[in-house]
Amino acid sequence: MKLAKKDLRDEELLQLLDRAKLNDSKAIGIICSHLYSKIYRFIYYRVNAVEDAEDLTSEVCFRVIKSIQSQKGSFYAWIFRIASNLINDHYRRRSVRSNVEPAGDLIEEMIDEGNKQSELLEQKELRQSLKKLTEEQQEVIVLKFIEGYETDEIADMLGKSSGAVRAIQFRALTALRNNFITKEVYTKG
Amino acid sequence: MEQDIELLLDNCISEMRNGKSIDKCLAKYSQYAGQLRPLLQLVQQLETLPKPEPSLEAISAALIEIGRERAIQQGGTAAFSKISNAALNLKKRSSIFNKIRNPKLAWVFSIVFLFLVVLFSAATISANSVPGDILYPLKLATEKVKFLLTFNSEKKAELRLTFSDKRLQEMIAVFQQSGKLDTTLLKEMLDEAKLALEENKTPIDTASIFAAKLSHVNAYQKDVLEKIRPQVNPSSRQIVDEAINMCDMRGRWMREMMNENDEVYPEGSDSMHSPQQMPRSKQKSNRKQWGPGCDWDR
């Protein structure tokens, strides 16, 4: 199973956070460049365009650094909460729910990676179905299967119990599966 | 029951991450297999989704913006410059990495790299090849390229001596393999040694060192030829004799040259003048020739 890169080690992150809270610019630079990819992937699967994902990610970084001195508790839970709120604001501003076709650049990326046409279509449909899930279901699926976190880590990030995350995961996968079956029926019908 | 299946699903996902197949995961929970299998297949599909990476330009732009904002807040430029430096470093990386990330350029880089690796490997392997081997032409080509890329005359002369020695080794290898004497290699061996002297344009003060090396190579070649002479085919023995004779003459000529400390020249040269008194062009031309009987007359 191919998973996204894991985090900085906990102790490294804590040290950087302590330094960043003391206004250490170098530590802030390292945290930002490390967080950027992580937040970007989280947002990417919930918005439609690469440009939107980059703009929102930059905004999250900006807000994280701006209020880092008041940060308490789980750092990742905090940043993913900021990211989630920003995504909601983004859709509220645009008044568009994310059931639009994925941007063309994603398709090009997938072609570049040498995927077969059938896989490509499956991935496209999967991504569209993902956007029909509830907000918290999308969060769990992206954190678990794109970022590669374990259930306990996700529970910590989202401020929920592990059992609650497992329940969300189960419902999300069932909903995705049902979406797929419905699509197949429509396509074949 | 619902809680149970959620836990079982999660356990199966963890086991799949550790390399287990869906069937192996479900073997333990056969009563739920029908419900879990489609979900686990979906998990496999989800994990094949692309893991997008942001562009390095976007990261550096964000870092610059954050640095600028902090500089304004702190009323100074130190914070800005530190964060901006991080951004600039990223930009520098991005310009190189983006080029390599470009699939077409990455393809070209890979082909060139592969070609160089194959060429280098083949050239290394070909070092021990002998005439008739598939890699022997590559060995000769490598030698030619090496020679063309050498600009120092002293090193060129040294290379000629090396080539001469290689021809000798090849001749021995062929002789051991087939029992036949390769007269072409024998001739090339002597020719390379001759050319070594012609290439040699070392200063007068170091000329005797080169002459000593050449003399040593010549003596070694003569020794080898004398050893293999009794074993060669009688029809080729005459050529070996001629070569031994030539080595003999050359050896004598080299000794004379060394003994007279560059002041004695082969027959026909202007021996009345010391090298220092002679025009440079004449010095070179005198050093370019072996003495009489030192070359093939056929």
- pLDDT at res. A81: 87
Nearest CA in chain B to A175: B39
Let me know whether A123 and A67 are in one domain.
Answer: no
Let me know whether A17 and A77 are in one domain.
Answer: yes
DSSP letter at A4?
A: -
For tokens 């804590």, what's the residue? A14
Res B222 pLDDT > 50: yes
Tell me whether residue A110 is in a domain: no
Let me know whether A4 and A73 are in one domain.
Answer: yes
- B233-241 average pLDDT score: 82
**Vertex A109 angle, CA A103 and A112, to 5°:** 145
Chain B partners within 8 Å of A106 (Cβ): 50, 52
Nearest-10 Cα torsion for A85, A89, A91, A93: 180
For the segment A148-166, what is each residue's pLDDT rounded down to a tens digit?
889 998 998 888 899 999 9
Burial of B205 (0-12, 13-18, 19+ CB in 10 A): exposed
Q: Which of A130-134, B21-25, B150-154, B286-290 has the lowest mean pLDDT?
A: B286-290
For the segment B265-289, what is each residue's pLDDT rounded down to a tens digit?
444 444 333 334 444 444 444 444 5
Q: How confident is the model at residue B125 (pLDDT cuts 50, 70, 90)?
A: confident
DSSP letter at B51?
A: -
> What are the tokens at B118?
């194959």
- pLDDT at res. A172: 94
Calpha distance A183→B129 (Å, rounded)? 65
The answer to whether B54 contacts A57, with C-beta atoms less than 8 Å apart, is yes
Residue A175, helix vs strand vs coil: helix
Let me know whether A64 and A22 are in one domain.
Answer: yes
Q: Which of B38, B69, B86 sits opposite A33 (nearest CB)?
A: B86
Number of domains comprising chain A = 2
Q: What distance in Å separates residue B88's CA from the closest CA in chain A? A: 11
- pLDDT at res. A100: 45
B residues 70-99 lying closer than 8 A (beta carbon) to A: 70, 74, 78-79, 82-83, 85-87, 90
All residues at 6 or more sequence positions from B94 whose CB lies less than 8 Å from its CB, including other chains: B55, B56, B57, B60
Instruction: From A83, A9, A1, select the one nearest A42 (Cα to Cα).
Output: A83
Res A106 pLDDT > 60: no
Let me know whether A2 and A82 are in one domain.
Answer: yes
Q: Is B48 in the A-facing interface, judged by CB distances under 8 Å?
A: yes
For tokens 């027959």, what's the residue? B267
Q: Last residue of some domain: A62, A97, A132?
A: A97
Tell me whether residue A108 is in a domain: no
Let me know whether A32 and A122 are in one domain.
Answer: no
Calpha distance B116→A91 (Å, rounded)? 53
Res A3 pLDDT > 60: no
CB A61 within 8 A of CB A32: yes
Choose the mutation target among B63, B80, B88, B98 for the interface with A, i.e. most A CBs under 10 Å: B63
Tell me whether residue A106 is in a domain: no
Res A98 pLDDT > 50: no
The answer to whether B9 contacts A109, with C-beta atoms less than 8 Å apart, is no
Chain B partners within 8 Å of A32 (Cβ): 59, 62-63, 66, 83, 86
Res B137 pLDDT > 80: yes
Calpha distance A38→B53 (Å, rounded)? 9
Let me know whether A63 and A93 are in one domain.
Answer: yes
Give residue limits of the domains in chain B: 2-46, 56-122, 150-287
CATH number reported for the structural domain that contains residue A62 in this entry: 1.10.1740.10
Total length of chain A: 189
Tell me whether residue A102 is in a domain: no
Let me know whether A7 and A71 are in one domain.
Answer: yes
Tell me whether residue A36 is in a domain: yes
Q: What distance in Å separates residue A8's CA from the closest CA in chain B? A: 17
Instruction: From B125, B228, B238, B214, select the one nearest B171 (Cα to Cα).
Output: B228
All residues at 6 or more sequence positions from B55 whose CB lies less than 8 Å from its CB, including other chains: A54, B94, B98
Let me know whether A3 and A93 are in one domain.
Answer: yes
Nearest CA in chain B to A33: B59
Calpha distance A23→A27 (Å, rounded)? 8
- pLDDT at res. A174: 93
- B86-111 average pLDDT score: 65
Let me know whether A88 and A23 are in one domain.
Answer: yes
Nearest CA in chain B to A173: B39
- B144-165 average pLDDT score: 84
DSSP letter at B77?
A: S
Calpha distance A19→A34 (Å, rounded)? 15
- B214-237 average pLDDT score: 83
The answer to whether A145 contacts B47, with C-beta atoms less than 8 Å apart, is yes
The domain in which residue A47 lies consists of 1-97
The answer to whether A36 contacts B79, with C-beta atoms less than 8 Å apart, is no
Q: Last residue of some domain: A39, A68, A97?
A: A97
- A61-77 average pLDDT score: 85
**Vertex A42 angle, CA A72 and B104, to 5°:** 135
For tokens 């393809």, what's the residue? B107
Nearest CA in chain B to A24: B79
CB A128 within 8 A of CB A102: yes
Let me know whether A3 and A80 are in one domain.
Answer: yes
The answer to whether A58 contacts B46, with C-beta atoms less than 8 Å apart, is no
Instruction: From B145, B131, B113, select the one nearest B187 (Cα to Cα).
Output: B131
Q: Which of B2, B52, B66 sits opposite A44 (nearest CB)?
A: B52
B residues 121-140 lying closer than 8 A (beta carbon) to A: none
The answer to whether B39 contacts A44, with C-beta atoms less than 8 Å apart, is no
All residues at 6 or more sequence positions from A169 whose CB lies less than 8 Å from its CB, including other chains: A140, A141, A144, A151, B6, B9, B10
Res A2 pLDDT > 70: no
Q: Is B1 in the A-facing interface, judged by CB distances under 8 Å?
A: no
- A77-82 average pLDDT score: 88
- pLDDT at res. B90: 60
Res B92 pLDDT > 70: no
CATH number reported for the structural domain that contains residue A158 in this entry: 1.10.10.10
More confident residue, B103 or A4: B103
Calpha distance B129→B106 (Å, rounded)? 34
Res B9 pLDDT > 50: yes
